[in-house]
Amino acid sequence: MINTEVDFAGIKMKNPVTVASGTFGYGREFSEFIDLNKLGAIITKGTFLKPKLGNKPARVCETAAGMLNSIGLQNPGIEYFRDNDLPWLRQFDTKIILNVGASCLEEYVEVCKIANTLDIDGVELNLSCPNVKAGCMACGTSYEGVKDVTAAVRKVLDKPLIVKLTPNVTDIAMIARGAEDAGADAISAINTLLAMKIDIEKRRPVLANNTGGLSGPAIKPVAVRMVYQIANAVKIPVMGLGGIMNGDDAIEFMLAGAKAISIGAGNFIDPTASIKTIEGIENYMQRHNINDINSIVGAVQMN
Amino acid sequence: MAIVEKVELVKKEQIKSDIYKYSVKSDKMANQAKPGQFLEIRVTDSIEPFLRRPISIHNVKKDEGIIEFIFQVKGKGTELLSERKEGELIDIIGPLGEGTFNTNGYEKIAIIGGGIGIFPLYELAKQVKESGKTVNMYLGFRNKDFVILENEYKEVANNFTLATDDGSYGENGFAINFLKDDISKNPVDCIYACGPLPMLKAVQALAKEKNIPCQLSLEERMGCGMGVCIGCAVKYKTETEDTFKRVCREGPVFDANIVEI
Ligand SMILES: Cc1cc2nc3c(=O)[nH]c(=O)nc-3n(C[C@H](O)[C@H](O)[C@H](O)COP(=O)(O)OP(=O)(O)OC[C@H]3O[C@@H](n4cnc5c(N)ncnc54)[C@H](O)[C@@H]3O)c2cc1C
Ligand SMILES: Cc1cc2nc3c(=O)[nH]c(=O)nc-3n(C[C@H](O)[C@H](O)[C@H](O)COP(=O)(O)O)c2cc1C
């Protein structure tokens, strides 16, 4: 018997495979394609205090081995989530992690106060969305900013707290320490890379918002490097993501130091990508006679 | 419920230099497909080009388990798709879209399509005509070189008008002008449209003016096509709701009175 179970910051997941915020909705759509019971955890769409309308279209476009998005965090608000999506999600034997967004520190605290009362397994703070201009979304780019928000949320949240980092910084390790120092239970990285695509015929950016976040295999090497740096800078566990499409990609992140991983845009290409990744990980374990998945976390040997 | 399946390309026809008709075999998809729905097609096994391509369902042969779709080669994705050979498997998700053409209670309908936007209208016309109701069809093309599938569409219409913008084939002018003339003499119960945005806007305005129910099939850039990324947003406005809806999920067919295009 091989063991794929991981204890991720107190969240006991049957395997390290989760689905990333904003790429899986609140689970309903993909329940048509896969058995949600098989997932380590579901991370919800970024949820705010109040519903958000999102940006004008075009909101997505394809780029080399990836895509840009500027959805603008369209979401129904936490009360809607509490009353409609959460009860539905709870029928499945998987962990539910609520991804929380906000446009100022006070809003993060307000949402997390409500989150603390919900039947969820953890909260992931999105400190990093590049698509919302105002306020606190920039607070993910400095040690102090990350520390302040994390500390404020920590005061009102007893559940496992995962802080999700933006890669749009010079020193990701230092930022991660900000979260750890303020009491975060885990880090997840990376969010999307701020990017732009120009339609050369129209001489205009393709996205209505001009810029958007790059995701998909194009960002994977950057993400692996950052996960490695974070894992070596903090003691709390790391959730690795960015361009994961299959089990091999997942293993690469785990070797770099991720204790759990997340499939993002890969879900769009293959709605069964998460399940295939679980199978791919088991397959790798068998091929390499690994009994416990935890043994490969951070097991990369540097040159 | 949509499924993801590798389906066999059983028949490939080139109907113009850059337009192909593919018949794929999938009992499950054919069984459920409704008029107005679409497929998300993976054009490669690799990660480049990355996203699936949304293509409408053109015709469904339920008894044979066949779905037909027609596409024009535009960029690298459709180019790759056009290189597939009969007997090969194509990775398809479908049928997608909960907003489909709804014909309940209508006896006489008008269907208007323009250019390569005519494809999702075929199955609709076919089903309505087969059920003994009346289909008035209006197709518009830029000029005679762009005219496609005239005979196929004629067969599924009771009254058929084909127009070209420059008059080089069929009637002279925009298809909507003929629709407009006809409905002022002979009203219809509902208008269905798919095509270029200017045409859809004109149809929407006409339907509003004449107070006729109208359903539009829309296109928007999609990330996933399955409703999770909320990339393909369209403005949706009622007395109680002012929001964005997903073209891939609540659409691609929308009530023209509510959707803002
Ligand atoms: C619901 C729906 C139904 C469609 N049905 C048909 C059909 O039946 N037949 C047909 O020929 N075409 C149809 N289209 C348009 C078709 O999806 C595009 O022509 C195709 O995606 C172009 O891909 P490409 O790689 O050749 O072009 P590229 O320009 O290289 O594509 C780059 C990216 O832009 C996207 N894109 C480009 N044009 C469009 C467009 N018009 N709409 C949405 N996304 C676009 C592509 O999907 C891809 O992600 C439909 C589009 C939608 C949204
Ligand atoms: C369409 C889309 C929407 C996203 N929405 C969110 C969100 O609401 N909150 C968040 O923290 N991350 C969001 N992300 C970022 C992803 O969770 C993930 O961090 C990023 O896409 C990198 O992973 P990937 O390359 O596997 O997609 C979104 C990504 C995409 C593509």
Q: What is the CATH number of the domain that holds A28?
A: 3.20.20.70
Q: Does B47 touch chain A (CB under 8 A)?
A: yes
Subunit contact A69:B234, Cβ cutoff 8 A: no
Q: Which residue has the higher pLDDT, A74 or A219?
A: A219
DSSP strand pairing (A122-126 vs A17-19): unpaired
Q: Is A139 a catalytic residue?
A: no
In this structure, the answer to whether residues B92 and B123 fall within a common structural domain is: no
Whether B102 is in a domain gets the answer: no
Q: Does B93 touch chain A (CB under 8 A)?
A: yes
A138 confidence band (pLDDT: 50, 70, 90): low
Q: Does B87 touch chain A (CB under 8 A)?
A: no
Which residues of chain B from 224 to 253 reach within 8 Å of chain A, CB to CB? 224-234, 243-244, 249
Task: Pull the structure tokens for residue B82.
Answer: 């056009």
Which residues of chain A are within 8 Å of residue B42 when distances are taken between CB atoms?
A: 269-270
Task: Pull the structure tokens for residue B155.
Answer: 């067969």
Beta bridge partners of B19: B16, B72
In this structure, the answer to whether residues B69 and B187 fall within a common structural domain is: no
CA-nearest residue to B43 within chain A is A269
C-alpha of residue A58 to centroid of ligand 1, in Å: 13
Q: How many domains does chain B have?
A: 2
Whether A160 is in a domain gets the answer: yes
Task: Specify the range with the lowest mean pLDDT, choosing from A136-140, A149-153, A243-247.
Answer: A136-140
In this structure, the answer to whether residues B77 and B163 fall within a common structural domain is: no
Whether B53 is in a domain gets the answer: yes
Task: Pull the structure tokens for residue A285.
Answer: 């374990």
Residue A157 has pLDDT above 70, yes or no: yes
Which of A54, A65, A69 faces B48 most closely, judged by CB atoms? A65
Please check whether residue A21 is in contact with residue A46, taking contact to mean a CB–CB distance below 8 angstroms.
yes
Instruction: Identify which of A253, A256, A237 has the alpha carbon closest to the alpha carbon of residue A245.
Output: A253
In this structure, the answer to whether residues B55 and B88 fall within a common structural domain is: yes
Looking at B67, B96, B125, the residue that finishes a domain is B96
Q: Which residue has the higher pLDDT, A52 or A18?
A: A18
B113: CATH: 3.40.50.80
What's the farthest any 2 CA atoms get from each other in chain A?
A: 58
Subunit contact B50:A269, Cβ cutoff 8 A: yes
Whether B34 is in a domain gets the answer: yes
Q: How many other β-carbons are positioned within 10 Å of the β-carbon of residue A47?
A: 29
| Beta strand extents in chain B (DSSP E only) | 3-16, 19-25, 38-42, 53-56, 59-61, 66-72, 89-96, 108-114, 134-141, 159-164, 171-172, 190-194, 214-217, 233-237, 242-246, 253-255, 259-260
In this structure, the answer to whether residues B155 and B250 fall within a common structural domain is: yes
Please check whether residue B247 is in contact with residue B238, taking contact to mean a CB–CB distance below 8 angstroms.
no
Q: Among residues A61, A112, A129, A139, which one is catalytic?
A: A129
Q: Does B220 touch chain A (CB under 8 A)?
A: yes
Residue A131 has pLDDT above 50, yes or no: no
A136 confidence band (pLDDT: 50, 70, 90): low
In this structure, the answer to whether residues B112 and B89 fall within a common structural domain is: no
C-alpha span between A239 and A231 (Å, rounded): 10
CA distance B5 to chain A (A): 10
C-alpha span between B13 and B19 (Å, rounded): 9
B43: CATH: 2.40.30.10
C-alpha span between B118 and B124 (Å, rounded): 11
State the distance between the two ends of chain B, measured CA to CA, in whole angstroms.
28
Which of A29, A54, A216 faces B50 most closely, judged by CB atoms? A216
Whether A40 is in a domain gets the answer: yes
| Boundaries of domain holding A116 | 6-296
Looking at B48, B76, B96, the residue that finishes a domain is B96
Looking at B96, B117, B150, the residue that finishes a domain is B96
Whether A301 is in a domain gets the answer: no
SS3 for A86? Answer: helix
In this structure, the answer to whether residues B224 and B137 fall within a common structural domain is: yes
Determine the distance from the C-alpha atom of residue B182 to the mean position of all C-alpha atoms in its chain, rounded to a whole number: 23
Residue A231 has pLDDT above 60, yes or no: yes
Task: Pull the structure tokens for residue B62.
Answer: 């339920």
Element spanning A228, H or E: helix A220-231
* Per-position DSSP letters for A186-214, written without gaps between them: EEEE--PEEEE-EETTTTEESSTTSEEEE
* Per-position DSSP letters for B56-72, written without gaps between them: E--EEEGGGTEEEEEEE
Subunit contact B224:A58, Cβ cutoff 8 A: no
ipTM of the complex, rounded to two decimals: 0.94
Residue A16 has pLDDT above 70, yes or no: yes
Q: How many other β-carbons are positioned within 10 Å of the β-carbon of residue A20?
A: 26
Which of A53, A217, A269 faces B243 most closely, judged by CB atoms? A53
Cβ neighbours for A101, distance < 8 A, ≥ 6 positions apart: A46, A47, A48, A73, A75, A111, A126, A129, A132
Task: Give the alpha-carbon dihedral of A81, A84, A87, A93, to 10 degrees.
Answer: -70
SS3 for B124? Answer: helix
C-alpha span between B188 and A40 (Å, rounded): 54
CA-nearest residue to B222 within chain A is A60
CA distance B28 to chain A (A): 14
Beta bridge partners of A262: A18, A241
Task: Pull the structure tokens for residue B113.
Answer: 């399509």
Q: Which residue has the higher pLDDT, A197 or A53?
A: A197
User: ∠ at Cα A274 (A272, A277), nearest 5°?
Assistant: 110
| Boundaries of domain holding B208 | 108-255
In this structure, the answer to whether residues B31 and B127 fall within a common structural domain is: no
Element spanning A67, H or E: strand A66-69
Backbone angles phi, psi at A248, to 5 degrees: -60, -45
In the block, which residue shows the tokens 């989530």? Answer: A81
Instruction: Identify which of B179, B181, B132 has the alpha carbon closest to the alpha carbon of residue B160.
Output: B179
Cβ neighbours for B147, distance < 8 A, ≥ 6 positions apart: B141, B162, B164, B169, B170
C-alpha span between A31 and A34 (Å, rounded): 5
What's the farthest any 2 CA atoms get from each other in chain B?
A: 55
How much is the pLDDT for B124? 98
Q: How many domains does chain A have?
A: 1
Residue A156 has pLDDT above 80, yes or no: yes
Query: Could you give the count of Cα atoms lying within 13 Å of B124 in the half-sphere of its Cβ?
Result: 33
Task: Pull the structure tokens for residue B212.
Answer: 């006729």
Task: Give the alpha-carbon dihedral of A213, A214, A220, A226, to 10 degrees.
Answer: -30
C-alpha of residue B191 to centroid of ligand 2, in Å: 39
Q: From chain A, which residues contact B within 8 Å (Cβ)?
A: 22-25, 29-30, 32-33, 53-67, 69, 71, 74, 216-217, 245, 265, 267-272
How much is the pLDDT for A104? 86
Element spanning A224, H or E: helix A220-231
In this structure, the answer to whether residues B33 and B80 fall within a common structural domain is: yes
Whether A206 is in a domain gets the answer: yes
Residues of chain B with pLDDT under 50: none
Backbone angles phi, psi at A260, to 5 degrees: -140, 165
How much is the pLDDT for B241? 80
Residue A228 has pLDDT above 90, yes or no: yes
